[in-house]
């Protein structure tokens, strides 16, 4: 009987030891969600119909305007913790839409796109999130790209040299100098504006030429107020405010002279304020 009792105790000790060493207790995972809440200063963002003369927002310099489109690409999301915890969202580009991973096209017009859920995040504590606004070199392919990177599906792709539009806003402004232009099935409305910020590489111009290509892809890092726990039964949500006024007021936009930005170099002044546009509001634990 004594031998049986000793064998039982030894088995329990061995099992406990295996759990402590991780051999019988595999790593657990949870989810982490990023919620992008687009605003204009202290006002919630609401899109207007193209051509609308109802200007519901005002810049710091007193320029009345509205928005008809607002969005951006998010990629290369990374979570870090105080004890070396690290999670990097898988990134992959393919012509097959089902194989494209790690690229997200966030649009104010598409409510579901504003929520990015990261799966298989290792359980632990995290206190920082980093992500890219735009599409870097490894996401720009000369051949076809699927999913949110597919121009045939509405991706914001310029061309091989310029790459993708990483951040865009369109709307109308009372003082915009834009005149009406009517094409074959399309119209550029009077008093409208269009700011497209993109470009993935710096290219020095030839002697006597103006610089055309610059890298407007930006990295944003947001520190949490406290450590956030991820576990099988804990799925935190980071509520991130994206304030359009941070860009417009940052560049001191004058719609009477600046209303059409459609090239990397022209978008460079706007790109400099992209990191300031993303603000961590709070985290739901």
* Tens digit of each residue's pLDDT (9 = 90 or more) over 173-186: 999 999 999 999 88
Residue 14 lies in a domain: no
Whether 18 maps to a domain, the answer reads no
Average pLDDT on 226-251 reads 96
- pLDDT-based confidence at 187, cuts 50/70/90? very high
What does the pLDDT read at residue 13?
43
Residue 68: CB atoms within 10 Å: 20
pLDDT digits (tens, 9 = 90+) for 118-140: 999 999 999 999 999 999 998 98
How many domains, the chain?
1
Please measure the distance between the N-terminal and C-terminal CA atoms of the chain and give it in whole angstroms: 51
- Identify whether 3 is part of a domain: no
pTM for the full predicted model: 0.88
User: Is 50 exceeded by the pLDDT of residue 270?
Assistant: yes
DSSP string computed for the chain: -HHHHHHHHHHHHHHHHHHHTTSSSPPPEEEEEEEEEEEETTEE--PPPTT-----EE-TT--EEEEEEEEEEEEEEEEE-TTS-EEE---B--SSGGG-BSEEEEETT-GGGGEEEEEEEESEEEEEEEEEES--GGG--SS---GGG-GGGT--EEETTTEEEEEEEEEEETT--PPPEE-SS-EE-TTEEEEEEE-B---PPPTTS-----B--EEEEEEEEEEEEEBTTB--EEEEEEETHHHHHHHT--TTT--EE-SHHHHHHHHTTHHHHEEEEEEE-
Return d(Cα 33, Cα 107) in angstroms, integer: 17
Within-domain flag for 17? no
- Residues 6+ positions from 140 with CB-CB distance below 8 Å: 160, 163, 164, 200
pLDDT recorded at residue 210:
76
Q: How confident is the model over 248-277, as a mean pLDDT?
A: 97
The answer to whether position 11 is within a domain reads: no
Tell me the residue range of the domain where 173 lies: 28-284
Question: What percent of the chain shows pLDDT beyond 70?
Answer: 89
- Rounded CA separation 87/90 (Å): 9
8 A C-beta contact, residue 216 and residue 267: yes
75 domain residue, yes or no: yes
Would you say residue 5 lies in a domain? no
Split at pLDDT 50, 70, 90, the class of 203 is confident
- Band (pLDDT 50/70/90 cuts) for residue 6 is very low
pLDDT class of 268 with cuts at 50, 70, 90: very high
Q: Residue 227 pLDDT more than 80?
A: yes
Residue 8: inside a domain, yes or no? no
Query: Average model confidence (pLDDT) for the chain?
Result: 90
- Per-residue pLDDT at 240 exceeds 50: yes
At 14 the pLDDT is 42
């Amino acid at each position: 009987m004594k031998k049986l009792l000793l064998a039982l105790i030894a088995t329990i000790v061995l099992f406990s030891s295996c759990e402590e060493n991780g051999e019988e207790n595999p790593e657990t995972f949870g989810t982490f969600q990023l919620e992008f809440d687009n605003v204009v200063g202290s006002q919630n963002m609401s899109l207007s119909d193209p051509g609308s003369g109802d200007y519901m927002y005002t810049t710091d310099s007193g320029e009345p305007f509205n928005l008809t489109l607002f969005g951006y690409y998010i990629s290369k999301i990374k979570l870090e913790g105080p004890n070396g915890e690290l999670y990097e969202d898988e990134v992959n580009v393919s012509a097959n839409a089902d194989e494209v991973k790690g690229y997200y096209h966030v649009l104010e017009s598409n409510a579901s796109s504003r929520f990015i859920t990261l799966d298989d995040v290792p359980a632990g504590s995290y206190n920082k999130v980093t992500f890219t606004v735009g599409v870097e070199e490894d996401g720009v392919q000369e051949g076809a790209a699927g999913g949110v990177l597919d121009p045939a599906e509405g991706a914001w792709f310029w061309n091989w040299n310029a790459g993708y539009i990483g951040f865009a806003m369109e709307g109308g402004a009372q003082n915009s100098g834009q005149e009406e232009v009517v094409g074959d099935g399309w119209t550029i409305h009077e008093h409208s504006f269009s700011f497209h910020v993109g470009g993935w590489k710096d290219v020095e111009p030839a002697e006597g030429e103006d610089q055309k290509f610059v890298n407007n892809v930006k990295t944003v890092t947001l520190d949490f107020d406290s450590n956030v726990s991820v576990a099988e039964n804990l799925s935190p949500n980071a509520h991130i405010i994206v304030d359009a006024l941070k860009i417009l007021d940052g560049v001191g936009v004058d719609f009477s002279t600046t209303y059409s930005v459609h090239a990397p170099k022209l978008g460079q002044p706007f790109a400099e304020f992209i990191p300031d546009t993303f603000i961590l509001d709070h985290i739901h634990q």
